[in-house]
Structure 1
Amino acid sequence: MSPAELSSNEAERLRAFERRGHDSLATSYHEFFAGVTALAINSILNEVHLHHGSRLLDVASGPGALTAEAANRGASAIGVDLSAGMVKLARRLYPTIEYHEADVEHLPFPDDAFDAVVCAFGLGHFPKPETAVAECVRTLSPGGRIAFSWWDDPSRQRIQGIFRESIAEIGVAALPDVPEGHNVFRFSNSGELLRLLEGAGLTGVRVVEHAATYIVPDIETLWCGGLGSLVLTGAVVTRQDQATQKLIRAAFERRASMYKSADGLNLPIAFKIGSGQRPT
């Protein structure tokens, strides 16, 4: 058993937490965090060698921007997401594109249905990532390509990092909804991401690291945007009493102020993209 593998009951508990959280935050996530995740879109599509006519599946498609960009480039693109709220939002934003509510472990598509499968920042939310990737590979045609992005370590991915460090400083308890064995940063380690993809039988596997800067106008925008986008991290903060929330906010403001510039907060953003090919 993998160190990160959860029991069936634990996996369902995490899945339900993720579904509820993304349902409730779909709109605020789109308004703030979609701009951050969009930094990876071009690189993800390049990794799967997208071309006109490619059949592409976007897993954990969220508000739908990656699926829509693939369609704009001439692909036959479909998005799936666990969250009904995210699917509803994506359909409203991109009404000409097909989006489905589905669990990554049970995709509603036949074998060999796609030339490319992509996933932008879903891995750390999956209760059983090995099962999830195997299911994605099942839907991939021989010779097809897969690309999954995930965040780098919080020390280099500062939106999550500032929140996480502030929470740790105050020392609040973990959420009971999230199983102790689930490590959201497991695939921030390039070796773990490589092993995941190689273990799914993919060839030519590689992990490429990316870095960028994202500008947020001020600390209040970052605070509200993060709480409205980061399902797990935000819940840790919002479930505390008012006194504890104020302590976290003070620690947060101190850390965030380090990134102030004339333009706002210049926040380092770092992520990895793991890719590979299904053998022919």
Structure 2
Amino acid sequence: MALDARAFTAFESSAHDRIAGRYAKHFAPLTGLALGPLLDAARVAAGRRVLDVATGPGVAAAAALGRGAAVTGLDVSPGMVALAQQAHPGATFRVGDVVALPFPDGAFDAVLGNFALGHFPEPEAALVECVRVLVPGGVLAFSWWDRPERQRVQGLFREVIAELGLPPHPDVPQGHDTLRFSEPEAFARLLRGAGLGGVDVAAHRTTHALPDVEALWRAGMGGMAVTASAIAVQDAATQARARDVLARRAEVYRGPRGLDIPIAYFIGTGRKS
């Protein structure tokens, strides 16, 4: 099914407006696990001009700011941008679409995207735009999730939806595959196709500690706008059943600290010639 890119972007914008506060509180700690490797891959350092696309609440932008970079964050969600600007006044944040970046050629030394790819309905066009605004020799570094069997927050929620037979949210445009770049070769082809050289896709694994199932529920429902929408649209009784299924499936990860959820992701990098 052909994807309506404009409709998908509009859904992403409105959905993230609604969940901005919950995302920052409950899901950003999960995306933050990749920040060190991501910024290292992009060679973020003092004085570097950095663009953080799909910045959300500005977590990666703030980390780059902490390294002394001059940082601009961009997101399609006005609610996320307002939240990021309030939380991180040292950076500049703008509302905008990654396929039409409002910056001149060669404006940045590095472009970051922390778990951004699945939010782009036109990833090839998005990457070309990101490369356009890089200086020659500039670095692009994007993180993205591994497969759900290894990235278990995503995996657990997908399994809950499958077990209960829940249909997609009727407002989510169909035809978008959020797992497309959860394969390293597909990720690498995307980077090379945008004209980048020295492409590398590195796998990373860690765990995310959560005190209980309620924290896991809040993280998933507050952070995965597309996936969790299949649950969020259900009535209260069905949502309660979904939470019970999640609790049962997550029990295998119980440890001394609560739940230790396996997390896996890739960081893809390339350099503009």
Q: Which amino acid aligns with 1:123?
A: L
Matched, 1:277 2:271: yes
Q: Which residue of 1 aligns with 2:240?
A: 246
Matched, 1:83 2:77: yes
Is the 2:168–2:229 contact (alpha carbons within 8 Å) kept by the matching residues of 1? no
Tell me by how many angstroms 1:159 deviates: 0.9
CA deviation vs aligned residue, 1:130-167 (integer Å, no higher than 9, x gap): 00000101101111110011001111111111111111
Tell me by how many angstroms 1:173 deviates: 1.2
Distance 1:205 1:186 in 2: 18
Tell me by how many angstroms 1:176 deviates: 2.8
Distance 1:221 1:143 in 2: 42
Q: Which residue of 2 aligns with 1:268?
A: 262
Matched, 1:31 2:6: no
Structure 1: runs of 5 or more not aligned? none
Q: Which residue of 2 aligns with 1:148?
A: 142
TM-score under structure 1 length normalisation: 0.94
Which of 60, 63, 75 matches 1:69? Answer: 63
CA deviation vs aligned residue, 1:26-78 (integer Å, no higher than 9, x gap): 11001011111111111111111222211110001111121122122121111
Bigger CA drift: 178-187 or 22-31?
A: 178-187
Distance 1:102 1:18 in 2: 12
Q: Which residue of 2 aligns with 1:166?
A: 160
Which of 177, 185, 192 matches 1:191? Answer: 185
Q: Which amino acid aligns with 1:96?
A: G
Q: Which residue of 1 aligns with 2:211?
A: 217
Root-mean-square deviation (Å): 1.3
Residue 224 to residue 49, structure 1, CA distance change in 2 (3 Å): closer
Q: Percent of pairs identical after alignment?
A: 48
Q: Which amino acid aligns with 1:202?
A: L
Matched, 1:227 2:232: no
Is the 1:167–1:248 contact (alpha carbons within 8 Å) kept by the matching residues of 2? yes
Distance 2:243 2:32 in 1: 27
Tell me by how many angstroms 1:232 deviates: 1.1
Distance 1:79 1:238 in 2: 28
Is the 1:13–1:177 contact (alpha carbons within 8 Å) kept by the matching residues of 2? no
- Number of residue equivalences: 273
Bigger CA drift: 219-228 or 244-253?
A: 244-253
Distance 1:71 1:245 in 2: 39
Distance 1:238 1:49 in 2: 39
CA deviation vs aligned residue, 1:160-218 (integer Å, no higher than 9, x gap): 11111111111111223333321011110111101100000100001000011110000
Is the 2:65–2:90 contact (alpha carbons within 8 Å) kept by the matching residues of 1? no
Is the 2:53–2:75 contact (alpha carbons within 8 Å) kept by the matching residues of 1? yes
CA deviation vs aligned residue, 1:107-142 (integer Å, no higher than 9, x gap): 110001111001001100111000000010110111
Structure 2: runs of 5 or more not aligned? none
Distance 1:196 1:95 in 2: 33
Q: Which amino acid aligns with 1:166?
A: V
Distance 2:57 2:236 in 1: 31
Q: Which residue of 1 aligns with 2:200?
A: 206
Secondary structure class of the residue paired with 2:219: helix
Distance 1:243 1:217 in 2: 24
Q: Which residue of 2 aligns with 1:175?
A: 169
Is the 2:8–2:172 contact (alpha carbons within 8 Å) kept by the matching residues of 1? yes
Distance 2:45 2:242 in 1: 46
Q: Which amino acid aligns with 1:155?
A: E
Alignment of 1:28-67 (within 5 A): 28-67=22-61
Is the 1:207–1:275 contact (alpha carbons within 8 Å) kept by the matching residues of 2? yes
Distance 2:79 2:173 in 1: 24
Q: Which amino acid aligns with 2:70?
A: S
TM-score under structure 2 length normalisation: 0.97
Distance 2:207 2:114 in 1: 18
Distance 1:160 1:98 in 2: 31
Tell me by how many angstroms 1:234 deviates: 2.0
Secondary structure class of the residue paired with 1:188: coil
